[in-house]
Chain A
Amino acid sequence: MDMTSNTSNQKENAPTNVVGKPMDRVDGPAKVTGAARYSAEISVPGTVYGVLKTSTIAKGRITNIDTSRAAKEPGILNIFTHQNLPKPAKTPKQVEKWRAAQSYLPMQDDQVQYAGQPVALVVAATLEAATQAAALIKVTYQADAPIDSYHDPKAELFDPQKIQQGKKDSHVVRGNPKQAYDGAAIKHEATYVHAINHHSPMEPAATLAVWEGTDKLTVYESSQNVTMHQGALADLLGMPREQIRVVTKYIGGGFGCKGSFWPHTILTVLAAKAVNRPVKLALTRQQMFTGVGHREDQEQTLQLGATTDGKLVSIVHSKKATTSPWDNYTESNGKIMDMLYACPNYSTTYELARANVMTSVWMRAPGEAPGSFALESSMDDLANQLNIDPLEIRLRNYADHDYSNDKPWSSKSLKQCYTRGAELFGWDKRNAKPGQNRKGRMLVGHGMASATYPVHSSQGTARVRLFADGHAVVEAGATDLGTGTYTVMTQVSADALGLPPEKIRFELGDTRLPTAPGSGGSVAAGTVASSIMAAAEDVWDKVVKMAVADKKSPLYKAKPTDVKVELGRMFLAKDPKKGETLLAALGRNGQPDIEGSGTGKYGAGYEEKNFGQNGADPNNDNKEKKTGGHSMHSFGAHFCEVEVDPDLGTVRITRWVGVHGVGTVLNLKTATSQMMGGAIYGIGAALMEDTFRDPNYARYTNADLAGYHVPVNADIPNIQVEFVPETDPYINYLGVKGIGELGMVGVAAAVGNAIFNATGRRMRSLPITPDKVLEALRQPA
């Protein structure tokens, strides 16, 4: 390396500078060779197996449990029921701030409140014996007629006041929406239905509970958030957090279902304590449908008021959904309607109905995914009704600031996404008139929709230990869903320390490590990357101090505040050729290693810390706003082509273009994969994902992956993904916006809009299956 060149040249010639590069996954070889152990694959000496027996009825009371035949299976250690399972110190209901979606813990009494609720837990020496014993337990019930959903004549809709564990209001009003709608020149009203969806990750939820004595517990859990699992266990067991360790090294997909706390974990932990052996329990695929939540069945009614030139004047949204007997969880679909467009008047209301189902939970892009289906379908209708191009109507309503809170955007590249997406897709060649484009027998259609997802506020800590021999260990208790946390954090660490990526060991997934947020709400990448940078800065500061005191250093006697660090090299800001690497200074000092730690913030917290209460916007002096500063969102646009078979009703997606503005991209390859995955997940919801709950039994009838269809390779076309360049100084150290959810938002609407363009029929019920398409085609266009 030429040490005399300026910094920008140095950047190019540095051994590292890997952030953003499409680096291969660092955990790839371990995964393809099987060396990576998922939670259920870990065993410790003495491990025995737990298997759940679940209720056949959805409502009623257990009158008898006969375990006599089950107990005769070989190697049974115990069969737990509500009668003999040790009680936790507290039930979720007794915990002051319960962290999870579901507040009901089964096996505490004889009550059954949903189908598939655990009623017994067998522990045996082998999985086979435990499985068969569970089948042989004979449970007798006194069954009552269950309520299956908000459709049930027995169900009563109510206003929950608060949704999402009390975090959000069920009523939001801005301006004068009703009056504005009533007075609007153009009125559009439609109702949208969303089927029950299940996350269905490849890896089932699993727990391995290992007690050391009675006061030290290690849990290997399939967790998107080890800190949450640790805290919930501490709450339920009445134990200090530090005595509980939760470990999750690899996750085979979660999509939200592993980011909340569910009964199987605590039941396994209680059973392990009782049998005094490590107990491993994995949910079966069928149990995954009643064990870890779902996206709730719901319908939304959306009224759009507009001017004759397509400018929105009012958005009135309401939602009905099914919830559990105990909790008021529902996705907040309205959020996206409040902020996506320049609309002065807005309201949303939520109504829920209690049914005999478990509590639903966040599932990839909660709120935004179904919300965008309604909003972006109605916008397409409006465009068609007013004979305006769907892209143009969105530009006419482009929000130059966030109307929901009157704040400026921290960054927004939606216009660029629209433009680049349209260019890649060839949007200008689209025939605006529905039903005109044929390819043989097939009706071809083109549709688009917007995507957006908020930058939630989050923070975390990390530890960096740089060794003088040129390697580093970097730690944060984050998780990797399979989307690339290991890889991108290795890249961030490599650049922070000026080391090649292979010299970095990044450790995650353990509550013994510094606390990081879970993988959820798209906060992990931005927060953990910032935490690592903060910890690296701590190392820099310490090494800079060494250097300026070291006669042999080119920085000797420099003021530490005059020294900059880039890609592992310290130099004088005013004279960049004067400097040396962190390693050079550390090596001369004779210290084998040096450690730093730091806290990274993501979102509003970062802005407040670095730019003050009102952010960097000098014009924003509105004291009524809770926090000043900027509104923070990622944005994108989807474009797709479909072919609809007018005789058979089948829909095939033949082309997909997604262009997104997500701030700094940490790894082009994993980010692109993530956005492809979002599109595929959205295509699943759009065209096929549908769990059927029997109306009389409130029990699912297709609870496996043959009956619950997710897309297969043959359903997915070539997906083209691009990112537009975007710099955002306000959101976190590296300007990273989350991408986990964004790719799915708007996907179902884009598909529906393309089907409309192909057929002239508006599909308002997801999934859009062939029977629904045929039915729509029978109706006049």
Chain B
Amino acid sequence: MNNFSYLQAEKAKEATAAKRDDKSAAFIAGGTTLLDLMKLNVENHDQLIDVNMLPFRGIEMNKNGLRIGALERMSDVGEHPLVVQNFPAVSQSLLLAASAQLRNMASIGGNVLQRTRCGYFRDTAFPCNKREPGTGCPALEGDHRNLAILGTSETCIATSYPGDLAVALTALDAVLTLENAKGKQREVPITKFYLLPGTTPQRETVLEADELLVAVTIPQTEAARKSMYLKVRDRASYAYALVSAAVGLEVQGGVIRSAKVALGGVGTQPWRAPEAEKLLVGKAPSEAVFRAAAEAALRGAKPREHNAFKVEMAQNTLVRALSEVAA
């Protein structure tokens, strides 16, 4: 890890201006991803701007839904009664992630911005288009068992966001609030926040250099209230998802009125499945309907040798999750 200077920002503008003026700076909140990557020399920052003192906290319901300050910790949000009652998928996605120690440190904003676990990205001995554009992608012919099958390109097949929370947020149409060095805020739906790798896998989100993620707002819907997050992994705890599903259904009079479906572990970004949602809405819930929706969700998949299993596993995970929320 290189030496760096440390700035504890007391005002948002101080933080965002410092970031604007220093291309090599990074914000630090919980640091659970950042310090890890700095120790691996995958990220090298001259300056860390500590944002923990900034007032981006609080978990409260307003007219737009549940607003969560970006500096709230994963464990606090996952266990908050408003989240547990109104957004079970969000609560589950948080509490099934990482370990208790990490959840106590990691912030919501940092979680949404966490980086891929692709082994080639995390080891500077390997080429990696995401880390060093143009050097190549050994994962294509190498270890891609836990990499993406949707949204991939020939330059990158990483599950760019490997975590859980953003999958639930993607299903439930969360909106992210970003604030820049001028103090101006803008709102970006999470479904438009992440970028596909294309030919520029190093660009992962629409976040500008001077922007700080300050809040996450989740609209309160019936489907969100009847939602769940199902995670499949190699061991029972402390493992990234092989495949996960965040789903919510609003069923009235035996008919699905609204459906929210997103997948984790399979896409280069948290993967919303509008094709699946379209197939569900207006139908009576049944295993056949869920199966058709699951197949639609994976239709565009481009599996490779070691991750071909994800197609079936993701379909089965979706069917299981939809069956459970419909029950």
- Residue numbers of A with Cβ under 8 A of B are 56-57, 115, 128, 131-132, 135, 286, 647-650, 652, 687-688, 692, 694-697, 699-703, 706-707, 709, 711-715, 769-771, 774-775, 778
Which residue of A has the minimal Cβ distance to B120? Answer: A701
A-B contact pairs, 12 of them (CB 8 A): A56-B125, A57-B125, A132-B2, A647-B317, A649-B232, A649-B309, A652-B236, A696-B138, A697-B125, A707-B119, A712-B238, A769-B234
The residues of B that contact A647 with a CB separation of less than 8 Å are 316-317, 319-320
CA distance A128 to B39 in the complex (A): 11
B187 on the interface (CB 8 Å rule)?
A: no
Nearest B residue to A73, CB-CB: B3
Question: 8 nearest interchain CB pairs?
Answer: A701-B119, A56-B125, A714-B236, A771-B309, A701-B143, A647-B316, A714-B237, A694-B142
B143 and A774 contact, CB distance less than 8 A:
no
> Which of these, A132, A701, A715, A771, contacts B236 with CB under 8 Å?
A715
A354–B252 Cα gap in the complex (Å)? 65
| Residue B141 CB within 8 A of the other chain | yes
CB-based nearest B residue for A769: B234
A287 smallest CB distance to B (angstroms): 12
Tell me the nearest residue of chain B to A701, going by C-beta: B119
Contact present for A712 and B309 (CB under 8 Å) = no
Chain B positions within 8 Å of A715 at CB level: 235-237
Which residues from chain B sit less than 8 Å from chain A, CB to CB? 1-3, 41, 117, 119-120, 123-126, 138, 141-143, 145, 232-240, 242, 309-310, 312-313, 316-317, 319-320
Q: Which residues of A have CB within 8 Å of B145?
A: 692, 771
Give the shortest distance, in Å, between A210 (CB) and chain B (any CB): 28
Give chain B residues whose Cβ lies under 8 Å from the Cβ of A692: 119, 143, 145
> Is B142 a contact partner of A135 (Cβ separation < 8 A)?
no
A residues near B143, Cβ cutoff 8 Å: 692, 694, 701-702
Q: Which of B126, B242, B309 contacts A775 (CB 8 A)?
A: B309
Please determine whether A712 and B320 come into contact, CB atoms closer than 8 angstroms: no
Is the CB–CB distance between A699 and B313 below 8 Å? no
CA–CA, A94 to B234, complex, Å?
45
If the complex has contacts A132-B3, A135-B2, are A771 and B313 also in contact, measured as CB distance less than 8 A?
yes
- Inter-chain CA distance A286–B138, complex, in Å, is 19
Residues of A within 8 A of B3 (CB): 132
Q: How far is the CA of A183 from the CA of B301 in the complex (A)?
A: 50
| Residues in B whose Cβ lies below 8 Å from that of A687 | 234-235
User: Looking at chain B's contact residues, is the secondary structure mostly helix, strand, loop, or mixed?
Assistant: loop
Residues of B within 8 A of A688 (CB): 234-235
Smallest CB separation, A699 vs chain B (Å): 6
Known: A648-B316, A714-B236. 13 other contacts (CB 8 A): A56-B124, A132-B1, A135-B1, A135-B2, A647-B320, A687-B235, A696-B138, A697-B138, A701-B142, A712-B237, A713-B237, A714-B237, A774-B309
Q: Specify the chain B residue showing the minimal Cβ separation from A134.
A: B41
Q: Could you tell me if B235 and A709 are in contact, using CB atoms closer than 8 angstroms?
A: yes
Indicate if the CB atoms of A702 and B119 lie closer than 8 Å.
yes
Give the Cβ gap from A70 to chain B, nearest Cβ, in Å.
12
Instruction: Give Cα A286 to B236, complex, Å.
Output: 23
Q: Give CA–CA (A126, B309) in the complex, Å.
A: 47
Residue contact B119 to A778, C-beta cutoff 8 Å: no
A699–B126 touching, CB < 8 Å: yes
Contact indicator B235/A774 (Cβ below 8 Å): no
B309 & A695 in contact (Cβ 8 Å cutoff): no
Q: Once the chains bind, are B141 and A695 in contact (CB under 8 Å)?
A: yes
Are B125 and A770 interface neighbours, CB within 8 A? Answer: no
- Given A699-B126, A709-B239, does the pair A650, B2 have CB atoms closer than 8 Å? no
> What A residues does B240 contact at CB under 8 A?
706
Q: Which residue of A lies closest to B144 (CB)?
A: A701
Query: Distance (Å) between the CB of B314 and the closest chain A CB?
Result: 10
Q: Are A774 and B313 interface neighbours, CB within 8 A?
A: yes
CB distance from B36 to the nearest CB of A (A): 9
A167 to chain B minimum Cβ distance, whole angstroms, is 35
Residue in A286, A648, A699, A709 whose CB lies within 8 Å of B317: A648
Find B142's partner among A696, A714, A770 (CB 8 Å cutoff): A696
Q: Which residues of B contact A775 (CB under 8 A)?
A: 309
Question: Distance in Å from the Cβ of B183 to the closest Cβ of chain A?
Answer: 36
Known: A132-B1, A707-B119, A770-B313. A695 touches B142 (CB 8 A): yes
The answer on a CB contact under 8 Å between B242 and A771 is: yes
Q: Given A115-B125, A702-B143, A694–B138 Cβ distance below 8 Å?
A: yes
Provide the residues of chain A in CB contact with B312, threshold 8 Å: 774, 778
In the assembled complex, the Cα of A770 lies from the Cα of B235 at a distance in Å of: 10
* Closest A residue, CB atoms, query B125: A56
Bound together, the chains give a CA A144 to CA B249 distance in angstroms of 56
User: For residue B124, which residues in chain A have a CB less than 8 angstroms away from its CB?
Assistant: 56
> Smallest CB–CB gap between B299 and chain A, Å?
19
Contacts A694-B143, A697-B138, A702-B143; is A770 near B242 (CB within 8 Å)?
A: yes
Q: Is the pair B235, A712 in contact by a Cβ cutoff of 8 Å?
A: yes
| Residues in B neighbouring A57, C-beta threshold 8 A | 125
Look across to chain A and name the residue whose beta carbon is closest to the beta carbon of B243. A648
Residues of B within 8 A of A648 (CB): 232, 313, 316-317, 320
Nearest B residue to A716, CB-CB: B236
The complex places the Cα of A647 from the Cα of B142 at a distance, in Å, of 27
Chain B residues within 8 Å of A706, by CB: 117, 238, 240
A697 touches B126 (CB 8 A): yes
Residues on the B chain within 8 Å of A699, using CB: 123, 125-126
Q: Which of A696, A701, A778 has the most CB of B within 10 A?
A: A701
Looking across the interface, which residue of chain B has its beta carbon closest to that of A55?
B125
Of the listed residues B2, B124, B142, the one surrounded by the most CB atoms of chain A closer than 10 A to its CB is: B142
Q: Which residue of B lies closest to A684 (CB)?
A: B235
Residues of A within 8 A of B2 (CB): 132, 135
CB-CB < 8 A to B238: which residues of A?
706, 712
Q: Which residues of chain A are within 8 angstroms of B235 by Cβ–Cβ distance? A: 687-688, 709, 711-712, 714-715
- Chain A residues contacting B123 (CB-CB under 8 Å) are 286, 699, 701, 703
